[in-house]
Amino acid sequence: MQIAFLFYDGMTALDAIGPHEILCRVPGAKVQRVAKKAGAVRTDSAGLELIADYALADVSYVDILVIPGAGSATTLRDSPEILAWIRSIHATTQWTTSVCTGSLILGAAGLLSGLRATTHWAVMDRLSAWDVEPVSERIVESGKIITAAGVSAGIDMALILAAKIAGPQVAQTLQLGIEYDPEPPFDTGSAKKANPKIRDALLARMSAQFENIK
Amino acid sequence: MQIAFLFYDGMTALDAIGPHEILCRVPGAKVQRVAKKAGAVRTDSAGLELIADYALADVSYVDILVIPGAGSATTLRDSPEILAWIRSIHATTQWTTSVCTGSLILGAAGLLSGLRATTHWAVMDRLSAWDVEPVSERIVESGKIITAAGVSAGIDMALILAAKIAGPQVAQTLQLGIEYDPEPPFDTGSAKKANPKIRDALLARMSAQFENIK
């Protein structure tokens, strides 16, 4: 089982590393970190650099593709090569997945046209740029495409995916392995629950980063 | 506000990247990723490599230190240089923290002697090797030392820490920013809730990795 994580400059580290921590431990999984070229990729998480082991050209099929999101749309504008690779890899996958604004990349690649999908709550309306039906749920399945909401939702998605590909016992073992029995200190992790002032300030900031994405 | 993340070969990626995603976005925070030497560090997460920007010798004080855990005790046995650095840095910190088995490293450094602490549920009994009182809670505070339970608990810890250093509004903004409104697919993320067979199999496997840690 080949599982590829797309890495790119500007990506949000946790979008990838959350699901990676789970999926890399599925028995029989072979994980590939793939970027335009192999080597260091600079995340938008205070410049943390992650190493990609493979270039796009090295990888021509995978069973599962995971596309992390980014804190701004710059990547979307600069990535025709990545979008072409995603389209060709998607033809080979069993599951094509995204975390957070990674679904905007799937949208830009033309893979979500006419489908339901989710993304980070603050850019939900941007999905319509590619004829995608935005859905405010944590995980949305549309055929073989699974999209997850903002950043931390990738952890939930990966556990659901682990259950699909390896069964619930394996998924529960992985969940217990990362002691995922969350106790968020505040009950304000979604747009519906958050303090409106906090929500609106964050919405304004993130919207500005994703203006004119198309 | 200087926030240092200790990186080392064999560390678990999510132990660091969960808190990193939150703490690096605290206004005014300057994050440093520190390892024995600057450069690539190989995690135990399918060999994913992260880049450390600083060597131990480059960093002589920090406000907050975060020590991630590892999937085996090999690191503990090979790290006198790291333990000495932790001791000297701890003298300068406002908060010294660990995620998962990172508390065993704090224990080995002699910083938890006589104190309450937590760690990954499957190695809880190992804390007694350094005269530490094991506590089965998600987050444990002992003076300026905060220890978190397994892997994903680092996210909860970082949000609690963000509230302490920057106030609850900032912490809630960060929580909403990563859309941390978790929906784990199973209610089996802690040893108390897990299926006993799954728990015992994982316990046996992890215990073997942490035998004879002292």
Catalytic residue, chosen from A100, A122, A139, A149, is: A100
d(CA B146, CA B75): 21
Query: Residue B214: what pLDDT?
Result: 74
Torsion angle (degrees, nearest 10) of CA B88, B79, A174, B180: 20
- What band does B77 get if pLDDT is binned at 50, 70 and 90? confident
Query: Residue B126: what pLDDT?
Result: 94
CB atoms within 10 A of CB A197: 10
> Is residue B201 included in any domain, yes or no?
no
Name the pTM for this structure.
0.97
Q: In this structure, are residues A152 and B180 in contact, taking their beta carbons and an 8 Å threshold?
A: yes
Chain B residues in contact with A12 (beta carbon < 8 A): 21
- CA–CA min distance B163, chain A (Å): 9
Of the candidates A12, A178, A189, which has its C-beta nearest B175's C-beta?
A189
Q: Which residue has tokens 């450094």?
A: B109
pLDDT surpasses 90 at B149 = yes
> Is residue B107 included in any domain, yes or no?
yes
> Is residue B53 included in any domain, yes or no?
yes
Cβ–Cβ of B149/A179 closer than 8 Å? yes
Give the 3-state DSSP-derived string for B32-56, with helices as H, strands as E and coil as C: EEEECCCEEEECCCCCCEEEECEEH
> Span B139-167, mean pLDDT?
98
pLDDT surpasses 90 at B117 = yes
Catalytic residue, chosen from B100, B115, B132, B157, is: B100
> Does the annotation mark B100 as catalytic?
yes
Mean confidence (pLDDT) of chain A:
96
Chain A residues in contact with B45 (beta carbon < 8 A): 17, 20-21, 24
Tokens of B39: 């450069």
Q: In this structure, are residues A103 and A140 in contact, taking their beta carbons and an 8 Å threshold?
A: no
> Is residue A13 included in any domain, yes or no?
yes
- CA–CA min distance A180, chain B (Å): 4
> What pLDDT, in 10s, does the model give residues B194-205?
999 999 999 999
> Is residue A23 included in any domain, yes or no?
yes
> Is residue A198 included in any domain, yes or no?
no
Mean confidence (pLDDT) of chain B:
96
What is the number of helices (H) and of strands (E) in chain B? 7, 11
**B11: Cβ–Cβ under 8 A, 6 or more apart, which residues?**
B41, B43, B44, B68, B69, B70, B75
> What pLDDT, in 10s, does the model give residues A15-71?
999 999 999 999 999 999 999 999 999 999 999 999 999 999 999 999 999 999 999
Tokens of A162: 């682990």
> Is residue B196 included in any domain, yes or no?
no
- CATH number, domain containing residue B39: 3.40.50.880
d(CA A87, CA B142): 52
d(CA B73, CA A12): 30
Cβ–Cβ of A51/B40 closer than 8 Å? yes
| Chain centroid to CA A192 | 21
> Is residue B163 included in any domain, yes or no?
yes
Apex A72 CA angle, A108 and B21, nearest 5: 120
- Of B2, B185, B211, nearest to B92 by C-alpha is B2
- What band does B213 get if pLDDT is binned at 50, 70 and 90? confident
Of the candidates A169, A180, A186, which has its C-beta nearest B171's C-beta?
A186
When divided into structural domains, chain B yields a total of 1
Query: Residue A213: what pLDDT?
Result: 79
Cβ–Cβ of A153/B48 closer than 8 Å? no
d(CA A126, CA A104): 8
Which neighbouring-strand residues pair with A11? Answer: A70
Query: What residues of chain A score a pLDDT lower than 70?
Result: none
- What band does B74 get if pLDDT is binned at 50, 70 and 90? confident
Domain assignment of residue B124, given as a range: 2-183
Query: Residue B62: what pLDDT?
Result: 98
Q: At what angle do helices A13-23 and B13-23 cross, to 10 degrees?
A: 160
pLDDT surpasses 90 at B158 = yes
Q: In this structure, are residues B194 and A172 in contact, taking their beta carbons and an 8 Å threshold?
A: yes
Cβ–Cβ of A21/B14 closer than 8 Å? yes
**Cα–Cα distance list, B201 to A102, A159, A170, B66 (Å):** 35, 19, 11, 29
